Amino acid sequence: MRGAIKSRLRNAFGSADEVLHACIRDNDIPQLQQLLRASPAPDINYSHPEFGPPLHFAAWCGNLDAVNLLLAAGADAFIVSYGEQRLTAIGFAAFKGHRDIVKRLWTCCRPESHVEGLKPYQTCFVVAATHGHASIVEDMLDWWNGWSQELRIEALLWASRRWHFGVVTLLLKRTSFEQPTLQEALHAATNHKFMLSYEFDIKYEGIDYLDQQLLIASLIDAGADPNSCPDNAPLIYTTAHNANLTGALKTLLEKGADPNKTDGSGKSALHVLASPVMIGQLAGGPGLLNETAIHLLLQHKASVSQPDTAVRGTEIKTLAQAVRAAYHILSHGADPSITTNEGWTPLHVLALHCDLDVTGKAAELAKHLISRGADPEARAPLLSPGNRQVVPSLGMPWGYRLRDAMADPSAQRMVIRHDLTPLHWAAERGAVGVIRALLANGVNVSSMDVDGISPARMAAESKFLERRTDLVDTIIDLLTLGQRR
């Protein structure tokens, strides 16, 4: 440990003011002792911008011999360091988990001195809890019964934010907390670890996710509600958005969370999981179709037929992901003939995916939907760009945006094409696999919409396929061949 500190800080502490820090870094106790006896001696309370005075640095390093020498020489343990940490000497020891040094510094003065003049996050009690040092937190509770309820709450919340199961368990055992506090702790625990100001990233080990699950369970057992809705979003809905929180989702479900609870606009966790979700804490990373989480929700009787009225509906990023999600949900009893408020069936929605379907997976799914009762001739209104408009850069609206657009399409520079079959939809969007499946089922290739437009004309005039003439040719060839049969 001390060798690592010496190596890491070998280029630090080069000024005359920092000679005591250099001795501590090098664990050169004889030289430190000699300097403290010199006349004049170096400034024993000189505060380094990052590590504070020598006593604080010795506490951070875990150097008990240096701590004893500096205390004997009159070092001030209660100076608050500069920089981001802003801690006293015992705060640095609590931060690093040096239990012996915490005990030594605790005995320097009356207990109240470790609290007076400090904000809650600066106290050694909250610092130890924040960094997961349960044994030190327990020592402090044993040494003094004067920790205020405010500090105990702060310790619980910070330990929950950082997934420190051992600390939270200890605090729940030694202190009574009201339900709103437990609820706030649960909300924190179901999220990723809180990133502290000096951190740029957090690395997670397998044990961390187990600690999170145990932590969530302990807070619910203590009285937190797994069905609460912070910011009008159920906890299971929030955890469903990130694959790394699948363990948290599992624990919430096991502890009584309602799998069908929705956010303020009607979207459930299962709706979230129909799309790829984030992996990891930082945005911009890869996405994953979280089939494990889907399976967990279905195990706990999540509804596969619950209407989606959410702000942003199901947005499957790739056809392969759409197919996998669809089969998974269908296998648990989803109704293939169910319709949205706009009258769209799953077959219509599948037809929205522009894809040559080289693997045949889309055609296979379309046939499966039809065999399970989906009507291949069902008609529904399709929202399309106006004749003089290009395809919206952000994609077509969905969820509440779809409802608003269909209520006033001109405001979105769009038009509604009424009473279109899935074949019309697939022809406009370029869903070749769906077209093949519909033709194999014998649908009427010559069917017209209310304006007399055929599927072939839909493909030829499609705004979505303007730059895909090869795809248009393929679709028209398929439709022409189907018409001859």
What is the tens place of the pLDDT at every residue in 118-136?
999 999 999 999 999 999 9
Hey, what's the torsion of the CAs at 97, 103, 108, 110, to 10 degrees? 100
- Please report the pLDDT score of residue 308 as a whole number: 54
Fold of 230-333: 1.25.40
Within 63-169, strands assigned E span: none
Amino acid occupying residue 376? P
Query: What gap in Å lies between CA 20 and CA 278, rounded to an integer?
Result: 48
pLDDT at position 240: 94
The pLDDT, as a whole number, for residue 58 is 97
CA distance 202 to 339: 43
Which parts of the chain sit beneath pLDDT 70? 1-7, 284, 304-322, 328, 332, 387-402, 483-485
| Residue 313 pLDDT | 35
pLDDT value at residue 358: 77
Please name the residues in contact with 354: beta carbons below 8 A apart, sequence gap of 6 or more.
429, 430, 431, 464, 465, 468, 471
| CATH for the 1-109 domain, from 1.25.40.20, 1.10.420.10, 3.40.50.300, 1.25.40.340 | 1.25.40.20
Please tell me the predicted confidence (pLDDT) of residue 162: 98
Spatial distance between the Cα atoms of 324 and 403, rounded to a whole number of angstroms: 27
Tens of pLDDT, residues 149-188: 999 999 999 999 999 999 999 999 999 999 999 999 999 9
CA atoms of 38 and 114, how far apart (whole Å): 31
What are the domain boundaries of the chain?
Answer: 1-109, 230-333, 335-485
The pLDDT value given to residue 52: 93
Same fold, 1-109 and 230-333: yes
Cα–Cα distance list, 266 to 149, 180, 219 (Å): 38, 25, 27
Gyration radius of the chain's alpha carbons: 32
Is residue 397 within 8 A of residue 412, CB to CB? The reply is yes
* Tokens standing for residue 8: 């890491």
Is residue 99 exposed (0-12), middle (13-18) or buried (19+ Cβ within 10 Å)? Answer: middle
DSSP-based three-state secondary structure for 38: coil
What is the fold, at CATH topology level, of the domain defined by 335-485? 1.25.40
- Cβ atoms of 271 and 313 within 8 Å: the answer is yes
